[in-house]
């Protein structure tokens, strides 16, 4: 097993079963993040936005919307797992194992479970990972299994996408 440090994107050929990616960024969840996400997604459970209501619940305070936490952990993993992907194929076995609160900082890491060539797309392969989110104290807050279709290094699909300036090249 190899533990990889920060990088920007991997191609199918870069993934090795058993390798662990410690995704380089952390993200502190603010009250505004939680409130906006809860409103945006029309989640009406008051445990996410009503302090008085949440104080009476078993946890005793506002819990960050788990949809937001899943989205953040997924986003943190993109730089290593799916920066060079063409599509997500699925998430399975999603587990929410520890509550997240306003002010918590979330981190993520992924382990490669399997790789295989795509049967229908010769320019890509399928990568399956187990990803987990951790809080600032190292508590696992969630985990899932994710499958993603990742471009091979020589795939043309993710190359030459930057536009040419109509005014010509930049000059001093």
Domain ranges of the chain: 3-151
| pLDDT at 1 > cutoff 90 | no
The reported pLDDT for the residue numbered 4 is: 65
Does the domain spanning 3-151 belong to CATH 3.30.2310.20?
no
Residues 6 or more apart from 129 whose CB is under 8 A from it? 21, 77, 81, 110, 111, 112, 113, 145, 146, 148
Tens of pLDDT, residues 84-112 = 999 999 999 999 999 999 999 999 999 99
Mean per-residue pLDDT of the chain: 93
Q: Rounded to two decimals, what is the model's pTM? A: 0.88
Burial class (CB in 10 A: 0-12, 13-18, 19+), 10: buried
Per-residue pLDDT at 121 exceeds 60 = yes
């Amino acid at each position: 097993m190899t533990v990889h440090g920060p990088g920007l994107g991997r191609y199918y050929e870069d993934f090795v079963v058993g390798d662990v990616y410690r995704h380089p960024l952390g993200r502190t969840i603010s009250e505004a993040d939680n409130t906006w996400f809860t409103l945006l997604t029309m989640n009406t459970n008051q445990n996410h936005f009503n302090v008085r209501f949440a104080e009476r619940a078993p946890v005793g305070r506002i819990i960050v919307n788990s949809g937001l936490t899943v989205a953040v952990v997924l986003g943190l993993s993109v730089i290593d797992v799916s920066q060079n992907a063409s599509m997500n194929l699925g998430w399975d076995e999603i587990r929410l194992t520890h509550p997240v609160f306003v002010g918590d900082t979330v981190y993520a890491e992924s382990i490669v479970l399997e790789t295989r060539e795509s049967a229908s797309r010769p320019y890509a392969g399928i990568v399956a990972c187990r990803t987990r989110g951790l809080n600032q104290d190292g508590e696992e807050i969630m985990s899932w299994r994710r499958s993603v279709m990742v471009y091979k290094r020589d795939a043309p699909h993710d190359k030459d996408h930057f536009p040419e300036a109509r005014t010509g090249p930049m000059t001093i």
